[in-house]
Structure 1
């Protein structure tokens, strides 16, 4: 239990820092006005989609590195990080090359351009994204670094790296957006510049660490960084399922943002604010799941199914209790918390609808996220892919688009999210109880 706690706290610090910074970013930009807030909300959603499509760089690498670490092969675990870093750099550069030219079309499709207000929001969001996207390769390097370091149960350095980078970004976003002190006033562009610099610092720190780890004791230091196509191929096979799973999430959330935008600027701003809070608190729960992922992977790598089952049981209890407590806190703060991020009366009025869906989903998420971590640690990515697709195709997406067709507003959008969570809950509980995830050894099937 102590090890679960240590890993949970470390993962929580790493996971919570980016959304905490994003909440600060939204609060700072929100003082510019409702249009600017809507622009940065939609643009950060797109950036999140771009940068998180390769979540296997973190989650897949953790599962593979943890198995090798559990079997006593630390060098093999670090090798997983080296090869994941090659994928991160290549994929990151490709994403920059694709995103920059298509940014105007993407924003127009999401926000619309049928009114002067929508056209302004789309243009501002395009400009923000075109600056911020240059940080994507280093964001992906951070994900790869987090992956192998979680796998070897390193708890201190990832926290330092993330906090250092985002602390710099926090100072810059306040200074550059509003021209505080000696900083120039860049407005919305200042938010994007601060994002790139902060993420860049963190990515370089992770890259430096994997270099030092591989060089130490190596007879041919630079040979230790050569691409190993067999390892890269194995990572990409696992990535296939995780990418499909991640893409399913992103299609759902992009669709939700597009539908919310059709109900008005205030509605999309309210939707994205509550969604950012959802992302923020879900990372508290995901920190427990990440601890489970590392410990389950190590236990199965060492051949101990009993330990893996014990971890699964404990993290589920911890996560469920934490989720209920958070739901109570947000219920009590329903009239206070939204005012931290905006003073716009129209946005505040619209927030009331998604807020209570958000509160009600938290207990369900406590169980779902914990068991997701257990199954990811066991390498059961194919099952999670299928469960997510079913939830998206038969839960989330139908209700989202029906809410547009029948004018159900944000209530319809968030009903889809609730149904999506319920379907996933049923699927992961069944899978864990079935015992089909008990696969031991250093390789993931």
Structure 2
């Protein structure tokens, strides 16, 4: 397959001004290409999980519950390590924009070493701790012990794919940085496609494959993730374009810089996790209908987040490339264009959800109590979407500039000042879902204010440039 990045040859540039000629295409078309590529990679795993749930669901309720809790643990572990993707994109894009493709790929090599090392530690710890963690989540008792046992078995198999999952994240990161948009999609679809076929065959013993039940789902997951991870690993080795192995060795100066950025991104990610876990915990205390309504609207929020995040990823790659070339005018133009496109998409979605307020919830439930409860968070969700459109875009701009430390502080402060006080007050004063979603809106508005002030101030154009 031909490389589709717009500047596959190394380029040297002495430009230290806002010279757009030193930068790859940063127009709306390029934003769209990068966004669609990122979106395809983002939506593939949730779609695979839906298939997995449907296949395992035929085995019975215990197996389905075991799969749900085990995949939750695996997802939480992976979510905290997205710095391998987002951090690598920003650093690789800056090198790419500066005309040093080899250095951009080196970021991917070193991120891959981190992926393998961290993945090995996770496997060693989690394989031992899996039963204990799952028992804490599920509880104990005659009716729950089979779920814990099944979930532990699934997780202990699937965990061996974690290093390959992390390799895929690192691969996505540097390839987005050099604006190679096709290969990541192909690699992810090939891996998950094989996994999907194996899942159906191994769980139920179809196509001449052994019937492994729930363990078959774990094996399919492991094989699919491994194929994708190996494809990314092979690509980064081939992309070094040198017969010597020197460029594949760990380079501690790069690894140290990546880990410094990783610290900020992990803290930022944990801030999100604390907010949404707290929201679910408080919603559960208001009743079954309330927690169900909260979960339905939250799933729609996460669905929309995929679209907005895809645009943010495009902003990372293009802003990083522009700033690497010292083309601040181009970086500012990308920030403007991505924000406008993201806001337009979010407003369109908000209008759609507003118009479908009476119909869309019925796709997910016919329970009258849940439908009544959904009416409260629904309009908070609709109101939040335009705000989120701007926030996600500007997050991508700041990540592309390497301003992860600011994003860490802004997100943590917004959670501590805006979200957490409101959500716990809603529990104390029985404000219900209105209190919870008021906290989420406050969280988003505070993030909007902080990132908008940062971008308008202009410091982001220089903070991450070496």
Pairing partner for 1:9 from 16, 28, 36: 36
CA contact (8 A) 1:41 1:269 kept: no
Structure 2 match to 1:22: 49
Structure 1 match to 2:126: 99
CA contact (8 A) 1:139 1:200 kept: yes
Instruction: Note the residue ranges of structure 2 that are not aligned, 5 or more in a row.
Output: 1-27
**Is residue 400 of structure 2 the alignment partner of residue 377 of structure 1?**
yes
Determine the C-alpha separation between the residues in 2 that align with 1:82 and 1:293.
19
The structure whose Rg is larger is: 2
Determine the C-alpha separation between the residues in 2 that align with 1:268 and 1:349.
12
After TM superposition, the structure 1 = structure 2 runs for residues 251-266 of structure 1, keeping only pairs within 5 Å, are 251-260=274-283
CA contact (8 A) 2:402 2:463 kept: no
Structure 2 match to 1:419: 442
Structure 2 match to 1:326: 349
Cα deviation, residue 65, structure 1:
0.8
1:156-195 CA-partner distances (Å, limit 9, x unpaired): 1111111111222233344445555555555544443332
Structure 2 match to 1:302: 325
Structure 1 match to 2:14: none
**Is residue 184 of structure 2 the alignment partner of residue 148 of structure 1?**
no
Equivalent position SS for 2:180: coil
Structure 1 match to 2:256: 233
**Is residue 408 of structure 2 the alignment partner of residue 367 of structure 1?**
no
1:315-337 CA-partner distances (Å, limit 9, x unpaired): 01101111122234445556766
Instruction: Note the residue ranges of structure 1 that are not aligned, 5 or more in a row.
Output: none
Pairing partner for 2:195 from 163, 169, 180: 169
Cα deviation, residue 361, structure 1:
2.7
**Is residue 90 of structure 2 the alignment partner of residue 63 of structure 1?**
yes
Number of aligned residue pairs: give it. Answer: 439
Cα deviation, residue 247, structure 1:
1.9
Change (3 A) 1:17 1:421: same
CA contact (8 A) 2:290 2:370 kept: yes
CA contact (8 A) 2:394 2:455 kept: yes
Cα deviation, residue 101, structure 1:
2.8
**Is residue 249 of structure 2 the alignment partner of residue 202 of structure 1?**
no
Determine the C-alpha separation between the residues in 1 that align with 2:395 and 2:431.
31
Structure 2 match to 1:77: 104
Change (3 A) 1:71 1:192: same
Determine the C-alpha separation between the residues in 1 that align with 2:349 and 2:183.
28
Determine the C-alpha separation between the residues in 1 that align with 2:376 and 2:465.
48
Cα deviation, residue 250, structure 1:
2.2
Determine the C-alpha separation between the residues in 2 that align with 1:262 and 1:177.
36
